[in-house]
Chains A and B, each alone.
Chain A
């Protein structure tokens, strides 16, 4: 059974975290998910919550309206986008004031109609719940065999009221996917810690220090690799791992993979087709 779904890549994935997007586009059709690209999309507004919450709400509503008018549910692989879309949907349900301001005044100017009936997926619930563990298991022909730590990212799991892909304090869906792919994993006390990524806008040194602390903790616990599902995590934990190491005065050489890259590897796909030659962390130690 094929499920058709609109891909909403956001800002960070399609401009720098190409490995995440490549692996998503590569694995999803094999798992029965047909991805549809949509025109006229823009930023979801999440990076601008600090600047103007009305603008954030407008931008998220605008993107949802565009997908709705194409009769598509939305797949937002970026947890920040996913949270912004979800909370906007809730705000527009509960606040007549915002609905009037945004839906009736601003969106109509662009000829857009927002209903708020679409479903919003993230990589984690798409793989774990929509595709499902059984289908995933059937596709594995090259079990991973590595001990992999899971990093969910803040917005994948918080806050509970905003209908997250997994539980805020005890998320386990990534672990269940990792073991399905033939990897092993275990809990670690820093699992729910932030990677520092969002601080890159205002406090770069602190952002990289947080990333370094997270990586150091995972490395010291003897994991072979770290799995992520967030492009801001990718930016600091993978792309800037060397600089993060400098901030905490450690030698860090921890392979960091997008979960979708791991799915692809376990299905026997070519590393380059999953963008793995773009990862800056030493993934070649394992593949």
Chain B
């Protein structure tokens, strides 16, 4: 994974892209969110960021690069995948910018571009499309090492999508669904 410090190296070779900013602002508007353009770099987001210490995520610098038009570079750096999604940055931003959701939108762009999705997402997605849930039921051990499942614990069966074929069809179409708002 590319460290955030090396984003600056990428910047040396790139030009800002204002059409990306317009598209991003359009999508954020559909979600009822402000443009990162009004970010004044107070860094409150970064001082509270749950991924800052361990994974070096600096939301304020992601916002700075975004508003400068270096959006493709941010997506290519993969730094957006370090966000925990704790929403502290959104909660505390005095300008009501939402770095966490800007990063969600940019991760959506990354995925839509066909790049390999990091982590367990592919597997979770497959489970969800097939059975309705991101993972199947697991067997767990109790303190005496006896194995249990929902049945042995007296829990009722969870009944997922009735028409699994239609559910899977609608979800597979999502690959081309965009927030829109251009």
Interface status of A97 (Cβ within 8 A of chain B): yes
Q: How far is the CB of B58 from chain A (nearest CB, A)?
A: 16
Interface status of A233 (Cβ within 8 A of chain B): no
- Give the chain A neighbours of B116 by CB distance below 8 A: none
Q: How far is the CA of A206 from the CA of B51 in the complex (A)?
A: 9
Interface status of A22 (Cβ within 8 A of chain B): yes
- Give the chain A neighbours of B117 by CB distance below 8 A: 51
- The answer to whether A158 touches B133, judged by C-beta atoms less than 8 angstroms apart, is no
Interface size class of B (residues with CB under 8 A): 35 or more
With A95-B31, A159-B87 already in contact, the answer to whether A110 and B166 are too (CB < 8 A) is yes
Q: How far is the CB of B126 from chain A (nearest CB, A)?
A: 12
Interface status of B155 (Cβ within 8 A of chain A): yes
Interface size class of A (residues with CB under 8 A): 35 or more
- The answer to whether B128 touches A90, judged by C-beta atoms less than 8 angstroms apart, is no
Interface status of A3 (Cβ within 8 A of chain B): no
Counting chain B CB atoms within 10 Å of each CB, the highest count among A48, A90, A109 belongs to: A48
- The answer to whether A21 touches B91, judged by C-beta atoms less than 8 angstroms apart, is no
- The answer to whether B174 touches A52, judged by C-beta atoms less than 8 angstroms apart, is yes
Q: How far is the CA of A169 from the CA of B44 in the complex (A)?
A: 14
Q: How far is the CB of A61 from chain B (nearest CB, A)?
A: 12
- Give the chain B neighbours of A142 by CB distance below 8 A: none
Q: How far is the CB of A180 from chain B (nearest CB, A)?
A: 27
Stretch at the interface among B4-12, B66-74, B103-111: B103-111
- The answer to whether A14 touches B158, judged by C-beta atoms less than 8 angstroms apart, is yes
- The answer to whether B84 touches A194, judged by C-beta atoms less than 8 angstroms apart, is yes
**What is B's interface to A at a CB cutoff of 8 Å?**
30-32, 50-51, 54-55, 81-82, 84-88, 90-91, 104-105, 107-108, 111-112, 117-121, 124-125, 128, 132-138, 140-144, 148, 150, 153-156, 158-163, 166-167, 170-171, 174-175, 177-181
Beyond contacts A14-B150, A42-B133, A154-B84: 14 other A-B pairs, Cβ-Cβ < 8 A, are A11-B133, A14-B158, A15-B138, A16-B138, A47-B124, A51-B121, A53-B104, A91-B32, A109-B166, A168-B91, A200-B120, A202-B82, A202-B120, A203-B119
**What is A's interface to B at a CB cutoff of 8 Å?**
9, 11-12, 14-16, 18, 21-22, 25, 37, 39-43, 47-55, 58, 90-91, 94-95, 97-98, 101, 106, 109-110, 154-155, 158-160, 168-169, 192-194, 196, 198-203, 206, 209-210, 275, 277-278, 284
